[in-house]
Structure 1
Amino acid sequence: MNASAAPPADTRFVIDVRQLNKHFGTRHVVRDLSLQVARGEIFGFLGPNGSGKTTSIRMMCGLLTPDSGSGTCLGYDIVRESVQIKQRVGYMTQRFSYWDDLTIRENLDFVARMYQMPQRKEVVAHALESLGLLSRANQLAGSLSGGWKQRLALAACMLHRPQLLLLDEPTAGVDPAARRDFWEELHRLAADGISVLVSTHYMDEAERCHKLAYIAYGQLLVQGTAQDIISAQGLDTWSVSGARLSDLSERVRDMPGVEQTVVFGASLHVSGRDRDALEATLEALRTDPTLHIEASATGLEDVFVYLMSRTPDPHHQDART
């Protein structure tokens, strides 16, 4: 199949992969990953550092060949047709990878030349305007703040008008206002039919995704909407505020009904699946007048901490066998 050939007719999913595996030496980095991303969807990919997120993203877009497994990206086979995939996706790495000694306009022009785009000047001008970069077009990239560098990187990703954006922790080190602006731009792109797979550490960003997947130690633990993932764990959560919360966390951790205690700022979240036992334990704590106890909605962070605490590290198991 040549680069201009059309993908197969079934295009419900921009990503549809099954049982992907990848080793680096003796380390099993991604284990039996199966994932589907629908068209026009912002799909959040979450997990701690070293969990295999970047390796998974690279396999799904044909940048890295899996050891085993199969799948398609934009209708093309991720192993046999990686060239066609690369021409149709925009990939934004966590690390800023453009040229500090070139201006924004010069960076975009250089990328457009690499893609051998016709009407290069018009393409660059459109990118500058649509991403709000026109006022800084002649500023050196090396002098930009993190938020503006991020916007330049997104503009470069969009030059060839990709159908799918793959964003690897794109807002790391960026201030909250710039992160908010970036996510508003992602939702605008999704509304125009562009699909987005984005990895992130931020729970507020995860909640802005249409669907989520959580990966740990190379294993996919859960996927679905934020509410689906929260509901599936069946956790009841209470918030306790007062003094010496770390000591309180240690004290209540082994009490009836308590499966998890996590300090979040000025409050302690106490969670469990046995509602009656948990409420009885918390009722006993109410005898302490220095504590304020109230029911709290279980959040994504509560759920992800819960999942991680119950997921063994297979790398340690591998070392013992």
Structure 2
Amino acid sequence: MTVESSSLSGGEPAVELSHVIRRFGKKTVLDGITMTVEPGELFGLLGPSGSGKTTLVKLITGIDKADEGSVRMLGQPMPRLSMLQRFGYMAQSDALYNELTARENLVFFASLYGLRGTHRNNRIREAMTIVNLLDDLNKPVAAYSGGMKRRLSLAISLLHEPDLLVLDEPTVGIDPVLRQSIWQELTAMRGRGTTIILTTHVMDEAEKCDRLALIRDGKLTAVDTPEAIKSRTGSQTIEQAFIALGGGAKS
């Protein structure tokens, strides 16, 4: 299952998972996940709440560790601390310091990525422009709305122009106009060679991905292009295909 895209070189995968199992107590949250994400690919993870999407991205970024199987990012086994500067991660929950201003938050995270001086300041302005928060740069994060905090979290993940961007529900709580703007930037980043992995519940976002992994109860039900998945199930939309493959809401 490959993407028809000139950006995919057929070389080493950007992310490779092999027979990954993750348990919490007696509950198996991920069960035998094997998949690859190619360089320069915009790859979507689609599944209902509790399906294992967030656990999967935590394994990819090295925040969590698999009980069995292997996870490699950009050729390196994960978790690996030295990989921090090579990927950007936007979690489902905003990891922000509310008592600081947005600028102070950005400066702090920029220091973790090794950004300094003029380059750091330019990247802060560029990232905040993308998420339409430049005018609120010096406002305390405590005064931000929930949607503004999501946008600031996205700006932080973009700061260091990473090789790989991992976004967990990046557009939740963001208005449709800004969501369109963010998707334009994600598409542009993909065009510049950035590999992007994102989780989503939004079906029209899933349609924009090069490939999708459909996940249900910790198992993959399909990994392919949106068109191929629709064709396989005889569906007109990804939502119909998702339901056909057993991806409806849990009972």
What is the aligned partner in structure 2 of residue 225 from structure 1? 225
What is the aligned partner in structure 1 of residue 125 from structure 2? 128
Q: Does 1:94 find its partner at 2:32?
A: no
Q: What are the Cα deviations for residues 229-273 of structure 1, in whole angstroms up to 9, with x where unaligned?
A: 0111135xxxxxxxxxxxxxxxxxxxxxxxxxxxxxxxxxxxxxx
Preserved contact between residue 127 and residue 156 of structure 2 (Cα < 8 Å): no
Q: Provide the alpha-carbon RMSD of the alignment.
A: 2.2
What is the aligned partner in structure 1 of residue 194 from structure 2? 194
**After superposition, where does 1:1-321 map in structure 2 within 5 Å?**
11-79=11-79, 82-115=80-113, 117-132=114-129, 133-235=133-235, 298-308=236-246
Work out which structure has the larger RCO, using CA pairs closer than 8 Å and 6 or more positions apart in sequence.
2
TM-score (norm 2): 0.87
How many angstroms does 1:147 deviate by?
Answer: 4.2
> Partners in 2 of 1:63 and 1:166 — Cα distance?
12
Quick check: which has more Rg, 1 or 2? 1
How many angstroms does 1:23 deviate by?
Answer: 0.5
Percent of aligned pairs with the same residue?
37
Which one is further off, 143-152 or 201-210?
143-152
TM-score (norm 1): 0.69
Q: What are the Cα deviations for residues 182-202 of structure 1, in whole angstroms up to 9, with x where unaligned?
A: 211111111111111000000
Letter in 2 for 1:39: P
Letter in 2 for 1:40: G
- Cα 1:125–1:27 shift into 2, 3 Å: same
- Cα 1:130–1:172 shift into 2, 3 Å: closer
What is the aligned partner in structure 2 of residue 238 from structure 1? none
- Cα 1:131–1:68 shift into 2, 3 Å: same
> Partners in 1 of 2:46 and 2:228 — Cα distance?
15
- Cα 1:138–1:307 shift into 2, 3 Å: same
Preserved contact between residue 40 and residue 193 of structure 1 (Cα < 8 Å): yes
> Partners in 2 of 1:198 and 1:118 — Cα distance?
25
> Partners in 2 of 1:98 and 1:191 — Cα distance?
29
Unaligned runs of 5+ in 2: 1-9
> Partners in 1 of 2:248 and 2:177 — Cα distance?
35
Preserved contact between residue 127 and residue 158 of structure 1 (Cα < 8 Å): no
